[in-house]
Structure 1
């Protein structure tokens, strides 16, 4: 079971979780246009505990060479970003667990690397909207247990799992998703010995520790009271989402490779769960996923918890196989 006392200690969660209310939040969000929103029910948005920027996003991170990095264990998960014109980059989950957003620029392209621990959602976006470069921060709000980001330029609120603005001047706008994937640090090193890895941030955090110990074995998600997934699927079971379709990770681990709906999904052992043991490196093996199209190109996807897929894509298709 998730150790809530540890989360309170490390992330400063507040005892009382209150429903979002534009009048209540206006003092903290004076520049957010609450008259514009794409959601119909304000009660879906709640405080996750930390205030605005209480979880500090990172800007302009530093990097070191793969060969010079010795602190990260081989099975620890990283988010891999490969953009033409730049060396491949690894963004360790040991850092994103505590910061959730990294604003970076790769080969001249402004990107946001994001990770929501409560949904296990790891996505990368282009930070440009209509020619404007946005910088993202952590609002401290949750919707369906998923992080609500905000941009510092317009103070609009964005749903991390969707990459879509849900409140403010940019409400309804969707960010461009970029292909990325979770894999083990060992796999990244083997494929990219000349690659780069994000340097440890200069914050006083227990990097490498998991403040959500046992979370992905919990019976229910934290701060979520929505419906349960269909087909007897456990809420915290991992699924691979491609568009509005979801494949159970257990099926992919059993079959090794699945070709359906125009994509080929492969599973490889060797990546630790970031939300299991107290030390991320000691988490149970959940494996790594690559999703490619018929031409062999990497496809935008997410490995998220089943409850989150069901919450944000209630009419989505569950690819259950035979």
Structure 2
């Protein structure tokens, strides 16, 4: 019995040492991050495979007028952003290979982000405590979600929640800005004078190919959390971010089947015409999923269209409406 107890104690100590060694190992990768300041269990941070900046952010984005773009399918997904009259489209066929675009739109420094494993497209104001930050990819994930870092302090930031989870900025939240995951044709119709992102180097990546073919009908990848009850983990859900309140989470199917959803001052609508970027090997040939818009008082508000397992991981106490 004593030997078994000693063995169990030794194994527990070894596990603790391995867990505690993670920040040391990350330090050996060159991180200047202050890992003594964190808001999450760092043991749950996983390597996504690529090293820091192995998925390179776009820091000097190049745009052309929408009338000059001829390669995009009408129903391809783009992230549409409009600030102070400056309208820009960020095609998922490009952003899926870079995940972060550091840009300035309508005079506002922004980070346009996309995490393919979560299908989460979110746009943030890059200004924090009077400083403009530039973001890159850590190569790390938590709950299958992209962890970004800022190049000023090496603090780590969770893309889905927009907060710093480790480093000197730990506990700080980025301001979320309204943007739309929409079809290219819809963006063009709404913004005839808009611009569209094009690759700085068209040969850098196989733009237009989906490196995650079949993912949105598979299983969560690099995910060690709990799956949501009574719903398929990869079902698309709409997460409406509401100031001062818990988010509204509803399945995309419910919004579509009910011809929209009204919740207080929030109006959620679905329209056909957008293809999934995570279905077939060619993004332009993905199946129809449609476009969600969310407004409050006639103005766009921040929202996301993600998978049920992601919403449950970050908001485990918020029910997903599906009936």
TM-score, scaled relative to structure 2: 0.90
What SS does structure 1 have at the residue aligned with 2:102? strand
Matches within 5 A, 1:1-322: 21-39=22-40, 41-86=41-86, 88-202=87-201, 204-218=204-218, 220-230=219-229, 232-243=230-241, 244-293=247-296, 295-321=297-323
| Aligned partners of 2:77 and 2:276 also within 8 Å | yes
Count matched residues. 299
In the aligned structure 1, how far is the partner of 2:264 from the partner of 2:238?
13
- Residues 100 and 136 in structure 2, CA contact (< 8 A), matched pair in contact too: yes
SS in 2 for 1:99: coil
Cα displacement (A) at 1:201:
2.9
Cα shift readout 1:266-304 (whole Å, capped 9, x = no counterpart): 1001100000001001000000010001x1111110101
Q: Distance in 2 between matches of 1:292 and 1:315?
A: 24
Taking the aligned partners of 1:166 and 1:261, their CA distance within structure 2 comes to 32
Q: Is the 8 A contact 1:80 1:181 kept in 2?
A: yes
Conserved in 1, the CA contact under 8 Å of 2:99 and 2:114?
Answer: yes
Q: Unpaired segments of 5 or more residues in structure 1?
A: 1-17
Partner SS for 1:21 = helix
Give yes or no for contact 2:78–2:181 (8 Å, CA) kept in 1.
yes
Aligned CA distance change for structure 1 residues 115 and 30 (closer, same or farther; 3 Å): closer
Mapped contact 1:76–1:272 kept (Cα < 8 A): yes
1:210-247 CA-partner distances (Å, limit 9, x unpaired): 010000000x20011211112x2111111000132211
TM-score after normalising by structure 1: 0.90
Distance in 1 of aligned mates of 2:295 and 2:133? 29
**Any conservation in 2 of the 1:156–1:168 contact (CA below 8 Å)?**
yes
Q: Is the 8 A contact 1:158 1:165 kept in 2?
A: yes
Aligned-pair distance for 1:29?
3.5
Q: Mark the structure with the bigger radius of gyration.
A: 2
Contact 1:62 1:198 in 2 (8 A): yes
Shift of 1:305: 0.7
Unaligned runs of 5+ in 2: 1-17, 242-246
SS at match of 2:93: helix
Instruction: Give the ranges of 4+ consecutive aligned residues of structure 1 lying more than 3 Å apart after TM superposition.
Output: none
Deviation at 1:200, TM superposition (A): 1.9
